[in-house]
Amino acid sequence: MDRRTLLQTLASTATGAFLGVEPGLLQTAPLLTRKIPSSGELLPLIGLGTWITFNVGSDPTAREQRTQVLRSFFAAGGRLIDSSPMYGSSQAVVGYGLARLGRPATLFAADKVWISSAERGVAQVEESRHAWGIPRFDLLQVHNLLAWEDHLPRLFAMKEAGRLRYVGVTTSHGRRHDELEKIMRSQRLDFIQVTYNVEDRTVEERILPLAAERGMAVIINRPFQEGALIERFRTARLPPWAGELGCTSWPQLLLQFIVSHPSVTCAIPATTSSAHAQENLGVARGRMPADAERRRLLDYIRTV
Amino acid sequence: MSDWGTYRLTDFLMFSRETYYRLFERFNQALWPWQLVLLVVGLGMVALARRRDPTSRLGTVAAVALCWALVAWLFHWERFREIHLAAGFFAAAFVLEAVLLLVWGVRRAHTPPGADRLDPVGVWIMLFGMMVQPLIGPLLGRPWSSLEWFGAAPDPTISVTLGLLLAARGRWPLWCIPVFYALVSGATLWTMKSPEAWLPPLVALICIGRSLTRHR
């Protein structure tokens, strides 16, 4: 065990103890990570999305359930949580959970600015930060490229002033890739966020290679197409070689396909289940398939 | 923008079916037992609608308008806005409808009795919206605790209103918001794969169809 592995294992165990998770639930094998190219900081391959799943309003029962998801996520070594002011009460529910967990120090807080007025963007970021209950965001992204020309200079200024660590932009559903490409070529972004999964692979052509060329980290949203892919494969037989990759379920296999792309930094599946949060993170403990194995998965999926 | 063609209804759904139903469960807990009072008010309103004196005619419409204001405030503004970014707009639309109904009620109270005989289909739809529609979702598998009551929840209130507009021959501007919300609600439920999704649009369709085809 090298020094980094040892430290990760110790950090995971300590986080679990801090969060009050039973030792039996902890998977202490270190998570696979990728570097954020602009800083060299390591991020686990699997993060946590909050679209729909964390939008539960003030419902105390649902808030406690989501806190359990966060507890499992951190206990299993997860770091990056992504939200947006567009997600209803999700930010506040994340903030509630973080407060209940004593604001885990390993959190990598990723949020977005989503407003057409740049002036009001600053206030929106402050509202978001307040909802999360954190001193600053690690990453702020311009949501769906909305008014990016106005927002990016302000976000870069925040980064320069030390009030933010990374700046990015997002798209989803494969939309507006031409504009995204233009932004990636003209701006020094730390992150981009795009949709990528076994069914939607358009980013493989231009966006992912460009991100690698420009040294940008890549977050992947909609890894399961909001559950549609899980539903599609629910009754399908797992390929016989899934075990060789350390995968025991279709969600794991689908996630592994995504994060095994060398240009992908992190995928952010959303879930309402603690068990699924841990299962998702388990992907970052398996072996990453080689190119031939990724192609074999795609071939297999075509037969399902 | 060419991207708009790539959007689907599911892209606009920002909460799960479980969260939506829980919203009504918690709403019902907070409101109980006022739902029963609203039901009695609703039944009294149907009885009033059949009377011809100006006070009864105004009272019927004023009661419906009050329900729209209650739904706007208690449901859309206080509750639904927590999980739906458009709920504030829905609240405003419901207040506008309450005002339009009141204006109509005052004007209708001064029309000569006998000038507008009630359409019995509309009266039956009012009773359906109050007594039957709320039960259909739970009978199809939705939790009984999330039952939507007339006067507090939007869908049955809309059905009762459309029934009243049909029965008393309300002018078309009064129909716009209820029909629009019936479509929005149907689309929301359909996107969440709720089995009762067909109900609000079907009631609107029946009311519009009957209104357009009856002999005046």
Q: Does the bond joining A23 to the residue before it have cis omega, within 30 degrees of 0?
A: no
What tokens does A124 get?
């929106």
Partner residue facing B22 (CB), from A51, A62, A87: A62
Long-range Cβ pairs for the range B44-50 (8 Å, 24+): B45/B126, B46/B123, B46/B126, B46/B127, B46/B130, B49/B118, B49/B123, B49/B126, B49/B164, B49/B167, B49/B168, B50/B118, B50/B123
Partner residue facing B6 (CB), from A55, A173, A272: A173
* Most A CBs within 10 Å, among B3, B13, B79, B193, to test the A interface: B3
What SS3 state is found at A61? helix
Determine the average pLDDT of the residues in A212-240: 94
Of residues A101 and A172, the one with the higher pLDDT is A101
Identity (one letter) of the amino acid at B60? T
Alpha-helical regions (H) of A224-273: 228-232, 250-259
- From CA B198, how far away is CA B136, in angstroms rounded? 11
What SS3 state is found at B15? coil
Q: Which of A185-194, A224-233, B102-111 has the highest mean pLDDT?
A: A185-194
Determine the average pLDDT of the residues in A135-156: 96
- pLDDT tens digits for range B34-88: 999 999 999 999 988 888 788 888 999 999 999 999 999 999 999 999 999 999 9
pLDDT at B3: 67
- ipTM score assigned to the predicted complex: 0.91
pLDDT at B51: 84
pLDDT at A282: 93
- In the predicted structure, residue B144 carries a pLDDT above the cut 50: yes
Cβ pair A230, A218 in contact under 8 A: no
Q: What share of chain B is helix, strand, coil (3-state, %, to 5)?
A: 75, 0, 25
Determine the average pLDDT of the residues in A212-223: 97
pLDDT at B216: 57
pLDDT at A28: 59
- From CA B209, how far away is CA B205, in angstroms rounded? 6
Per DSSP, A192 falls in state E
- pLDDT tens digits for range A59-75: 999 999 999 999 999 99
Q: How far is CA B117 from CA A53, A62, A200, B35, B48, in A?
A: 51, 50, 59, 30, 14
Chain A residue closest to B192 (CA)? A52
The band of A4, judged by pLDDT with boundaries at 50, 70 and 90, is: very low
Does the distance separating the beta carbons of A175 and B79 come in below 8 Å?
no
Partner residue facing B14 (CB), from A55, A61, A62: A55
Cβ pair B164, B61 in contact under 8 A: yes
Residue A272 has φ and ψ, to the nearest 5°, of -105, 5
- In the predicted structure, residue A24 carries a pLDDT above the cut 50: no
Question: Cα A297 to chain center, whole Å?
Answer: 22
Phi-psi region of B151 (alpha: psi -120 to 50; beta: other; left: phi over 0): left
Does the distance separating the beta carbons of B16 and A88 come in below 8 Å?
no
* Most A CBs within 10 Å, among B82, B146, B188, B193, to test the A interface: B82
